[in-house]
Structure formats: structure tokens, C-alpha cells
Amino acid sequence: MTVIEVVSGDITRERVDAIVTAANESLLGGGGVDGAIHRAAGPRLAEAGGAIGPCPPGEAVATPAFDLDPPVRHVIHTVGPVWEGGNHGEAEVLASCYRRCLEIADQIGARSLAFPAIATGVYGFPPDQAARIAVSTLRSTPSEVERIRLVAFDEQTRDLLNAAL
């Protein structure tokens, strides 16, 4: 049974087996949560990402976590949809991000996982709809992951994720 909890804070401080970053297709790093994770993991993260990128929207790939402190062993890079009004399959791509991250977590044997609110920043996905997609997808995807932490960086995201749980 997977436990899903909402927490507030900086995902780079999470004590889990793997943290998810909201990447862009290059996997070379960027701003937002991706920038924070790349800063914390060090330059080898961009080297590893660049070596296996590009990653299409809705897909996910794992790399080591490099300079991130234990117990974090892996970074799972996923690319969310850029919001274009909601009629371009954005919801399905976002659901795919959460589903594929669980599948990758199972492949690497991660039993605890932290997610940011994928696509709700630079990519402009409405955070209320994104929160519902995150929770419903995580609940409906069978996985060996025992603990999922949905990390909110602001109060609105925290409240929306709690409402979706």
C-alpha cells in the first residue's frame, strides 16, 4: 500500500531514495525546481542528463543523484507538458509523467519518492487541475513504492494538493 503525503519545503532537502525533477527535454537543467536540484546535485547531473537526453514530454529517465546527500540515490527527470489551453493533450502528458516516474522508481528499486508540482511553474499548467491529476494518477498506478511525498513550494500548491488527496 503506497502512502501519499503532502509536505511543504524544498525538494532538495527531502530524505527519500529518489527525487523527481521537472526537467526540460534537454535534461541539461534550467530554472525552477530543476535549477535547484541541479545546483544541489552538482555539474555531473547535467552531464548525465545530457548523455541520455533528449527526453520527450511525458517520459521519465533516472540518473544518479551525485552530490545530493543520502539517502537520495537517484534523480528521476521527467518533462511536463507546456500548457497551451488544455486542448492539446496536456492532461494526458502530465498523467504520463507521474505514471512513468513510478515505473522508473520500480526499475531502480526506489521505495520512497518525492515529487514537485510538475509543469505548474514555467510550463503554466493550472495548479488545481495538476494536483488532481497527480493524486489520481499516483493512486491508480500499481507500484512497489511505499512512500510518496508531494512537495509544495508554496501555500497555494500545498492547499491544492491536500484538497486533491
Residues tagged active-site: 34
Is 109 a binding residue for ligand APR by CB under 6 A? The answer is no
- Binds ligand APR by CB under 6 A, chosen from 49, 53, 57, 116: 116
In this structure, the number of other CB atoms found within 10 A of the CB of residue 93 comes to: 21
Q: Starting from the edge strand earliest in sequence, which strands make up the sheet with 74-79, in order?
A: 3-8, 147-152, 112-115, 18-23, 74-79, 60-64
Is 63 a binding residue for ligand APR by CB under 6 A? The answer is no
Is 69 a binding residue for ligand APR by CB under 6 A? The answer is no
- Binds ligand APR by CB under 6 A, chosen from 32, 54, 64, 126: 32
Number of residues that bind ligand APR (CB under 6 A): 26
- Binds ligand APR by CB under 6 A, chosen from 20, 90, 153, 160: 153
Is 36 a binding residue for ligand APR by CB under 6 A? The answer is yes
Residue nearer to ligand APR on the CB measure, 10 or 69:
10
Residue nearer to ligand APR on the CB measure, 10 or 47:
10
Q: Percent helix, strand, coil in the chain (nearest 5)? A: 40, 20, 40
- Binds ligand APR by CB under 6 A, chosen from 68, 110, 119, 150: 119
User: What is the per-residue DSSP string for 51-99?
Assistant: HH----TT-EEEEE-TTSPTT--EEEEEEPPPPSSS-SSHHHHHHHHHH
Note whether 131 and 93 are within 8 A (CB).
no
